[in-house]
Amino acid sequence: MSPAGAAATRLRAAADHLNALGLYPEPIDPTGVRVIYAPWFFRGPVLRRFDGYALPGAILLRRPLAETSDYLLRHELCHVWQMRQRGPLMPLSYLVKPYARNPYEREARWAGR
């Protein structure tokens, strides 16, 4: 299977898991979400503690997809959905609520399980 095919398969499985939880009025659609192996992104002092990072249309990973847990992929896909549904309010919320207590982070941690 090609890397793009593997990413699409893993994202579809992550979306199915998240949709089964019934948290969201609209199902999560992973179409168009890219998975990017970007170890360089995590070298900065603020991002060293993360293994993944979500953008509205992409998930950046510290390790190759084959070495990435299903939990992390579900967690980051949850963040993609949050950003798509709530726009700039989601990332801006981290300026007001600390990471550990941020409701979006708590939801993604719970949903990723």
Host domain of residue 15: 3-112
Closest CA to 74 of 22, 24, 19: 19
Model's pTM, two decimal places?
Answer: 0.92
Around 4, how many Cα atoms within 13 Å sit in the side-chain half-sphere? Answer: 3
With beta carbons less than 8 A apart as the criterion, state whether 109 and 25 touch.
no
N-to-C CA span, the chain? 26
Q: What is the pLDDT of residues 35-89, one digit of tens each?
A: 999 999 999 888 999 999 999 999 999 999 999 999 999 999 999 999 998 888 8
pLDDT above 90: residue 9: yes
Number of domains in the chain: 1
